[in-house]
């Protein structure tokens, strides 16, 4: 028997729509509940009427959007709306033009082909906060920062894409979703912005 997915868009639209931008720290679950000892959004977000618009892995960092508007939540997270998401990926190795082309054209994962993406080498992000625990470094293997922009949200997609082309991801930060940017938010910090769609 197939479970029905919750349809948040069927709820009445709130009179006062709220949109919260959070810089999710490493090791935090992108939900408000968890097992004893789990770090969750409840530890960082002081609202009980907002829900995540999309997820971010426990071992990934960066921008999460939370809203009290189910219609807006669906627009931000449903792949059919093709909202661009920008990631900064620190990968092991130095990418070749062939590897970048593969990422750009799409790679075959076990749950299907990824859509064409943007992927290019970038400098280490400015004002980057230290990760706790630090990323493991191997002196014999260089690492590189990539900017990767996708319009879908398969489970752990960016990590699987880079691994598929031989560039394992060491650190992953989501920097932008649609028009919303991480900007100067530090890990655990949040700010409210008016919804623009």
Dump pLDDT digits (tens) for 18-67: 999 999 999 999 999 999 999 999 999 999 899 999 899 999 999 999 99
6 vs 29, higher pLDDT? 29
CB atoms within 10 A of CB 51: 18
Asked whether the bond before 14 is cis by omega within 30 degrees of 0, the reply is no
- What pTM, to 2 d.p., does this model score? 0.90
What DSSP line would sit under 120-172, residue for residue? Answer: EEEPPPTTPPPPSSPPP--TTS-EEEEEEEES---TTHHHHHHHHTT--EEEE
Q: Determine phi and psi for 181, rounding to 5 degrees.
A: -115, 150
* pLDDT score at 137: 76
Cβ-in-10-Å burial (0-12, 13-18, 19+) of 76 comes to buried
* pLDDT score at 110: 92
Give the DSSP H/E element, type plus range, for residue 118.
Answer: strand 118-122
The tokens describing 172, both together, are 């992953």
The yes-or-no verdict on residue 2 having pLDDT over 50 is no
What's the angle, vertex CA 101, arms to CA 55 and CA 147, rounded to 5?
40
The yes-or-no verdict on residue 3 having pLDDT over 50 is no
91 strand-pairing partners: 144, 169
- Catalytic residue annotation: 57
Closest CA to 53 of 153, 120, 132: 153
Q: Determine phi and psi for 151, rounding to 5 degrees.
A: -125, 30
Closest CA to 157 of 189, 197, 110, 193: 110
- At residue 10 the predicted structure's pLDDT band, cuts being 50, 70 and 90, is low
Same CATH fold, 84-177 and 15-79+179-192?
Answer: yes
Q: Are 153 and 79 in contact (CB under 8 A)?
A: yes
- Tens of pLDDT, residue by residue over 61-111, are 999 999 999 888 888 888 888 899 999 999 999 999 999 999 999 999 999
The yes-or-no verdict on residue 11 having pLDDT over 80 is no
Q: Which CATH architecture fits 84-177?
A: 2-Layer Sandwich (3.30)
The yes-or-no verdict on residue 1 having pLDDT over 60 is no
- Domain range 15-79+179-192, its CATH number among 3.40.50.970, 3.30.70.580, 3.40.640.10, 3.30.70.3290: 3.30.70.580
The residue ranges of every structural domain in the chain are 15-79+179-192, 84-177
> What stretches of the chain show up as alpha helix (H) in DSSP?
70-77, 97-105, 157-164
């Amino acid at each position: 028997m197939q479970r029905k997915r919750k349809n948040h868009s069927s709820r009445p639209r709130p009179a006062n729509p709220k949109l919260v931008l959070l810089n999710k720290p490493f090791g935090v679950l992108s939900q408000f509940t968890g097992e004893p000892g789990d770090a969750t959004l409840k530890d960082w977000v002081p609202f009980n009427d907002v829900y995540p618009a999309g997820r971010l892995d426990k071992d990934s960092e960066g921008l999460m959007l939370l809203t009290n508007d189910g219609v807006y939540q669906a627009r931000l997270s449903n792949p059919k709306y093709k909202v661009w998401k920008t990631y900064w990926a620190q990968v092991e190795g130095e990418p070749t033009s062939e590897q970048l082309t593969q990422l750009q054209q799409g790679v075959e994962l076990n749950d299907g082909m990824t859509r064409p993406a943007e992927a290019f080498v970038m400098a280490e992000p400015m004002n980057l906060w230290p990760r706790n625990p630090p990323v493991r470094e191997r002196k014999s293997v260089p690492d590189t920062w990539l900017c990767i922009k996708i319009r879908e949200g398969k489970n752990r997609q960016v990590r699987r894409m880079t691994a598929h082309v031989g560039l394992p991801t060491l650190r992953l930060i989501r920097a932008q979703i649609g028009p919303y940017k991480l900007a100067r938010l530090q890990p655990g910090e949040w700010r409210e912005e008016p919804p623009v769609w």
